[in-house]
Amino acid sequence: MPDQYPEYELHSIYYDTEDSGMIIHCLDHPMYKEKLRLRSYGEPKEGQPVYLELKKKFKDTGQKRRIALEESEAYAYLNQGVVPHLSSGTQIYSEIDYLVRRKKIVPKMFIAYHRIAFCGKEEADLRITFDSAIRFRSSHISLHESGREQYLTSPEEILMEVKLSGRYPYWLSDLLSKMKLFRSSFSKYGTFYTMQEQKQISDQVATVPESISLNQESEESICSLPY
């Protein structure tokens, strides 16, 4: 059935170290990984909170911790280190602040998409979401769209996520099996990072002088290649 909030827009900023160490670690599929993002529901408006979220995952168990901040307060904290005023969530803030200071994080990407959400009628912790029009921007990063966004996936593609803390109920496993839908890993920020890396490699290859043959085996030629 439709979730409590069945349809909405999501805007997020993902934060990472300058050398993208957090997402590189995540892409190695370790037992433990963490991500930090700032999120709003649609375009942030004055007086409405934005949410600073720390996502942790150990093996297959995920946990999300978040605090509510004013948009300007969130930027001041994350970009200049100004301690925010908190009316609640001080323990969660301590966890987030430890990561922010330990990692020396910077904003890496803005991402936005439209979400339709459902929940189980009998399974209280089951949610199935459908994300479409997934788009991103890697410059002039804020929670607001600028019109310079690019699609992360094809505009026709829709990302379906099944969120469940325990085992899939039989009816869902049976349905997914009949539709030949199998579990697969997909990270929006990870996909963005991989795309950026591939583009950088392509740009480097394009700058190799035509006079250099890729088949030459001399030490000078090999050292000149952008690999």
Span 86-122, pLDDT tens digits: 866 789 999 999 999 999 999 999 999 999 999 999 9
Residue 95 lies in a domain: yes
Rg from Cα positions in the chain: 21
Domain range for residue 201? 7-205
Instruction: Give the separation between CA 185 and CA 105, rounded to whole angstroms.
Output: 25
> How high is the pLDDT of residue 75?
96
In a domain, residue 220? The reply is no
Whose CA is closest to 68, among 44, 103, 101?
Answer: 44
- Residue 218 resides in a domain: no
| Interval 30-63: pLDDT, tens | 999 999 999 999 999 988 999 999 999 888 788 8
Q: Which residue has the higher pLDDT, 3 or 222?
A: 3
53 domain-assigned:
yes
In a 3-state reduction of DSSP, which class is residue 102?
helix
CB 134 within 8 A of CB 48: no
- Spatial neighbors of 45 by CB under 8 A, at least 6 apart, are none
What local confidence, expressed as pLDDT, does residue 119 receive?
95
Residue 224 lies inside a defined structural domain of this protein? no
Q: Is the pLDDT of residue 70 over 70?
A: yes
Q: What CATH number does residue 104 fall under?
A: 3.20.100.30
- Report yes or no on 213 lying in a domain: no
Is 210 a member of any domain?
A: no
Number of domains in the chain: 1
Distance from C-alpha of 171 to C-alpha of 1, rounded to nearest angstrom: 15
